[in-house]
């Protein structure tokens, strides 16, 4: 069966700007990974051209093997204790004012890598005090202590993606659990409040994996029930023939309608369009 072609609205320009090449050069020089590169993000040209990148901590190999994700799965390496310093240096050299830091899943670590996230946030704020720090974290296998460690570090946004609707978790996210992801977001908000900090919570959902609209809207209501502030909705794009196929291409008009639905539910910000990814235009989500 021939591979389905993308519709006309799934188009991006090839990266050619000087800022794109400068960003790529700095990341290479400092031996840093980005989800932009490892996950084959379609927005890499635009974001690198705006001197924006989503840093990926703890290597480029994941302990989980989600069938939608382009990040490699296999044997992981020990943590690099110098990585937080190098990321902070990159942030300073690029002059970033909004920094997104994510990671591979590291279920091999006792804290899931929470301490490494916290150390990175501290390093960034030390080098660039005015920069906002957004972390896009795994579920830490539901560890409240790990969530607390990240929330207590100098972050501004706690982002954890629910990724899809509950009925598709077994198919698309076998290492995750929908109730656990909700609890991670709920606990992050509650703990921040308990220690007197204002931390926004954020999540993202991929569309086109076979979800039903009614179930998607129910997920959105679940998120508002735990006071999630920011929601991103984007089209799932198959990284290769070895990954889950696209079941449906959601039209720009449908994305616009979902944005209106989310705004009516009370989300502080909804970023909803075919090429949206979790950190796409992240600096605008808190404007």
Q: What is the dihedral of CA 84, 113, 45, 270, to 10 degrees?
A: -120
Domain ranges of the chain: 18-284
pLDDT of 41 above 60: no
Nearest to 19 by CA among 56, 47, 54, 55: 47
Quote the percentage of the chain above a pLDDT of 70: 81
pLDDT tens-digit readout, 44-97: 545 554 556 678 899 888 899 888 887 888 889 999 999 999 999 989 988 888
Backbone angles phi, psi at 137, to 5 degrees: -105, 160
Look at 175 and 158; give whichever has higher pLDDT: 158
pTM of the model: 0.86
pLDDT the model gives residue 149:
98
Q: In CATH, what number does 18-284 get?
A: 3.20.20.70
DSSP letter assigned to residue 55: E
Please state, for a pLDDT cut of 90, what percent of the chain lies above it.
64
For residue 82, how many other CB atoms are within 10 A of its CB?
11
Average pLDDT, integer, range 205-217: 97
């Amino acid at each position: 069966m021939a591979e389905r072609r993308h519709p006309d609205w799934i188009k991006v320009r090839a990266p050619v700007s000087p800022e794109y090449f400068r960003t790529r050069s700095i990341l290479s020089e400092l031996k840093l990974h980005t989800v932009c590169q490892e996950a084959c993000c379609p927005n890499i040209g635009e974001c690198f051209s705006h001197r924006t990148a989503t840093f990926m901590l703890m290597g480029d190999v994941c302990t989980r093997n989600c069938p939608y994700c382009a990040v490699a799965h296999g044997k992981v390496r020990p943590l690099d204790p110098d990585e937080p310093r190098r990321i902070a240096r990159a942030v300073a050299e690029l002059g970033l004012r909004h920094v997104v830091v994510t990671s591979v899943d590291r279920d091999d670590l006792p804290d899931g890598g929470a301490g490494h996230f916290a150390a990175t946030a501290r390093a960034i704020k030390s080098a660039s005090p005015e920069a906002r720090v957004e972390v896009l974290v795994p579920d830490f296998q539901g560890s409240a202590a790990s969530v607390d460690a990240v929330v207590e570090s100098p972050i501004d946004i706690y982002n954890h993606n629910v990724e899809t609707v509950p009925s598709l978790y077994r198919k698309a996210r076998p290492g995750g659990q929908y109730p656990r992801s909700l609890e991670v977001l709920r606990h992050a908000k509650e703990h921040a409040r308990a220690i007197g900090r204002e931390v926004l919570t954020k999540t993202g959902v991929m569309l086109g994996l076979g979800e039903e609209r009614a179930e998607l809207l129910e997920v959105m209501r679940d998120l508002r029930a735990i006071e999630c502030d920011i929601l991103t909705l984007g089209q799932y794009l198959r990284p290769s023939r070895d990954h889950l196929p696209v079941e449906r291409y959601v039209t720009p008009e449908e994305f616009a309608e979902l944005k209106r639905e989310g705004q009516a539910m009370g989300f502080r910000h909804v970023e909803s369009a075919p090429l949206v990814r979790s950190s796409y235009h992240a600096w605008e989500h808190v404007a």
